Amino acid sequence: MQLQPRPATKPFLLLLNADWGRKSPAKIARTYLAAWAAPTVALIDGSHHNTYSDAPLVDSTAESSERSARSVIGSLVAAFFETHLAGRSVNLDALLDQTPAVQRIPLEQAGNATP
């Protein structure tokens, strides 16, 4: 008998910098669809690797697009926590779809693409 892992059903939000995320959507889809039943994955325009750390907060030379991306990231993470941890009714899907700097990755479609 071969054991097959089942994807986790817990909520999952993955925010990626746009440069890296656009390079391999099929790989991202295969990886996260195998591990999570319904992951939410999005690219944040203007973000870079360090945008997701504290670096832009202390770097006075950070570009305005990076500061804007950091604000978007904070809003999305707060909405995710409000929805899934605090149990409040926050429409995270609408926020993802209505924020211009955010591009959702439709994993089901990307997973069928050739790498």
Q: Model pTM? A: 0.78
What pLDDT is stored for residue 98 in this prediction? 92
Rounded CA separation 90/13 (Å) = 14
pLDDT at 108: 73
Per-residue model confidence as pLDDT tens for the chain (115 residues): 666 678 888 899 989 887 777 777 778 878 888 888 888 889 999 888 888 887 767 777 767 777 788 889 999 999 999 998 888 888 888 999 999 999 988 777 765 554 4
Whose CA is closest to 33, among 12, 19, 16? Answer: 12
pLDDT of 29: 79
Instruction: Count CB atoms within 10 A of the CB of residue 36.
Output: 18
Residue recorded with tokens 């069928």:
112
Say how far apart CA 103 and CA 31 lie, in whole Å.
19
pLDDT for 1 equals 61
User: Phi and psi of 7, rounded to 5°?
Assistant: -60, 140
Give the whole-angstrom CA distance, residue 54 versus residue 57.
5
Give which of 99, 115, 104 is closest to 43, Cα–Cα: 104
